[in-house]
Amino acid sequence: MERDAAVAAVFKPVHAPTTFEETVERLGTAIRTGLLTAGSRLPPERQLAGELRISRSTLRQALTTLVQSGHLVALRGRSGGTFVADRPPLSEREEDPLGRDAWGVLDQRVAIEVGAAILATERGREQELRALDQLVQRMADCDDFEDYRRADIRFHIGVAEAARSPMLVTQMTEVQGQMSDLIALIAHPEEVLTRSNAQHRELVVQLRDGDVRSAVEVTRSHIRGTEHILAGLI
């Protein structure tokens, strides 16, 4: 079936390195805006992965997230496939779900997290980095999202502590509280948490190596992933 230009843009290739997050954003936004209409069927997995130029495993992770959030429905059998839900859960919300500028919170997070990463790279001591290692392992061992999120919050505050800036610790605590309200609105499949924690682990490596540039890059990539997910689902 021939697509109009707007729908065709939904299925253009996704760019690395945030292929998973951008796929969720692309499809979630298309559902929310009605470009992909309620009840419509997505192309078969092999075809869709080819059009987006992403791996099938990455596509499955993105589809799992959108199914868990209620945007898509997966049906088995001969007439099965992946369909847009009849009533995507966030499609009718007209207000900021938090009663505040959610994207302002994300901007604030970028400034605080990147600044903390820079100073932690310059000032972090081994005892603080070991504490971050332990939190990464704790997240890897978690079976429950609430436990994971508690360790996640503690990790980010720990980066600010490694920066040895009491003001940054206060600001990081505040912005993580605001982020918890945002994160509560989206699904948390295991693949997403595993990917996020791999970035935590990579950040500790860069802090220990004293590599400011790489620490900033992984921090920005980590935050950008959240931005893409939220843009697709809120």
Domains in the chain, number: 2
pLDDT of 98 reads 44
Cα 215 to Cα 211: distance, rounded to the nearest angstrom:
6
Helix (H, G, I), strand (E, B) or coil at 43: coil
The answer to whether residue 94 sits within a structural domain is no
pLDDT of 17 reads 65
What band does 50 get if pLDDT is binned at 50, 70 and 90? Answer: very high
Q: Specify the DSSP class assigned to residue 15.
A: P
> 62: domain CATH number?
1.10.10.10
- What digits encode the pLDDT tens for the residues 73-110? 998 877 788 999 988 765 444 454 444 578 888 999 99
The answer to whether residue 142 sits within a structural domain is yes
| Residue 147 shares a structural domain with residue 217 | yes
The pTM (predicted TM-score) of the whole model is: 0.73
pLDDT of 100 reads 54
- What digits encode the pLDDT tens for the residues 156-200? 999 999 999 999 999 999 999 888 878 877 777 787 788 899 999
Proportion of the chain above pLDDT 90, given as a percent: 49
Task: Indicate the residue among 27, 56, 84 that finishes a domain.
Answer: 84
Average pLDDT, the chain: 86
pLDDT of 14 reads 81
Task: Indicate the residue among 25, 52, 84 that finishes a domain.
Answer: 84
Average pLDDT over residues 200-221: 97
The answer to whether residue 204 sits within a structural domain is yes
If you search the block for the tokens 């987006």, which residue do you land on?
A: 52
- Answer whether residue 1 shows pLDDT above 60: no
